[in-house]
Amino acid sequence: MMLDVKDLRVYFYTRNGVVHAVDGINFGIKKGETLGIVGESGCGKTTTGMAIMNMISRPGKIAGGSISIDGREISSLTETAMRKEIRWKKVSMVFQGAMNCLTPTYTVGKQMVETIVYHTRMEEEEALEIAKKYLAHVGLKEDVVRRYPHELSGGMKQRVVIATALLLEPELVICDEPTTALDVIVQAQIINLLKRLKKELNLSYIFITHDLSIEAEVADRLVVMYAGKIVELGTNEHIYGKEPMHPYTQKLLASTPRLREKVDELDFIPGTPPDLLNPPSGCRFHPRCPYAFDRCREEEPDLIEIEEGHRVACWRVR
Ligand SMILES: Nc1ncnc2c1ncn2[C@@H]1O[C@H](COP(=O)(O)OP(=O)(O)OP(=O)(O)O)[C@@H](O)[C@H]1O
Ligand code: SF4
Ligand SMILES: [Mg+2]
């Protein structure tokens, strides 16, 4: 495994109490693999990605567990070591909404060069050449380095953000909702671009989205998160090929438009995701689960392997 996450817990210590944003999750990634992370808003997807970058900031903290990259434990590395050896160089991230946060007064070239110079102390001229090379990789012309963010379309801005994540030749790229703000045609272009880059640069991805139809396109394996926990983990075959096993995954699939073109009516998941300050007892999905029974309200189900590579946390699936 190039990345191994074990019993990871990330909590936010707010004035109102402790938010259990990520609460004991386990998964690994092999080299060259794309692991999808799906789940509703607030289930802990971004927090998981930020923890792997070791970028959780106050009031948040990695409260337990381990994250190792090529066998090295990163949560115990100093910030200097993280910056020198891991962040952007081994693992980088296309941050959620980053295309709308480019500095408006900086040219594309300047923002990209700053990333390289900050992490490598390279000369600016050399850094600019690298920036141009990666702009070409993402299908943009070299002269985009002289443009300002407002001169670019949404799709072009997202390409700049992706190019920036690649500048220091990482092996693993965490893509957090990389297509969410884009129209469907540009979405498809960005997905094709990410697939091409994966092959050309031999990358592994963590691909975060709330949209299962996009994961069906890109992921090899899928993690389904609910309220800070993993409720199901399996290959695409396990999740899309047959019926998924966890009631939450089933509901999520049934409510995904593009995977359900032939049905008359889309399903939806009743209720709202739980408050992570006070998560429900037992199985966190029980207040919304059509199959909940007594044990679900009292005891928390572990994530157990029901067939090779397929894990489910549900009392009904044993
Ligand atoms: N700085 C913070 N302070 C307090 N709570 C936070 C903070 N950042 C995140 N959280 C909480 O942690 C939980 C997980 O948030 P996270 O951003 O990881 O969710 P997400 O799955 O990425 O959601 P989305 O699909 O909306 O991007 C949420 O309940 C959120 O409110
Ligand atoms: S453990 Fe119970 S409440 Fe939770 S998903 Fe399974 S059946 Fe539903
Ligand atoms: Mg998020």
What average pLDDT does range 224-236 have in this prediction?
A: 97
Q: Report if residue 159 sits inside a domain.
A: no
Whose alpha carbon is nearest atom 12 of ligand 1?
Answer: 21
* DSSP one-letter string for 59-79: TEEEEEEEEEETTEESTTS-H
Q: Report if residue 274 sits inside a domain.
A: yes
Q: Report if residue 205 sits inside a domain.
A: yes
Who's near 21: CB < 8 A, 6+ residues apart?
10, 11, 12, 44, 47, 60, 228, 276
Residue-range definition of the domain harbouring residue 222:
3-90+170-312
- At residue 185's C-alpha, the angle toward residues 179 and 186, to 5°, is 45
Cβ of 210 closer than 6 Å to ligand 1, yes or no, is: yes
Of 50, 57, 60, the closest CA to residue 5 belongs to 50
Could you say which ligand is closest to the alpha carbon of residue 247? Answer: 2
39: domain CATH number?
Answer: 3.40.50.300
Where on the phi/psi map is residue 196: left (φ > 0), alpha (ψ -120 to 50), or beta? alpha
Q: Report if residue 40 sits inside a domain.
A: yes
| pLDDT tens digits for range 116-141 | 999 888 999 999 999 999 999 999 99
Return d(Cα 145, Cα 90) in angstroms, integer: 25
Q: Report if residue 18 sits inside a domain.
A: yes
Q: Report if residue 78 sits inside a domain.
A: yes
Number of domains observed in the structure of the chain: 1
Q: Is the pLDDT of residue 261 over 70?
A: no
| pLDDT tens digits for range 2-60 | 999 999 999 999 999 999 999 999 999 999 999 999 999 999 999 999 999 999 999 99
Could you say which ligand is closest to the alpha carbon of residue 277? Answer: 1
- Number of residues that this document lists for the chain: 318
Residue with tokens 């409510």: 255
Q: Report if residue 103 sits inside a domain.
A: no
Whose alpha carbon is nearest atom 3 of ligand 2?
Answer: 286
What average pLDDT does range 228-237 have in this prediction?
A: 96
Q: Report if residue 125 sits inside a domain.
A: no
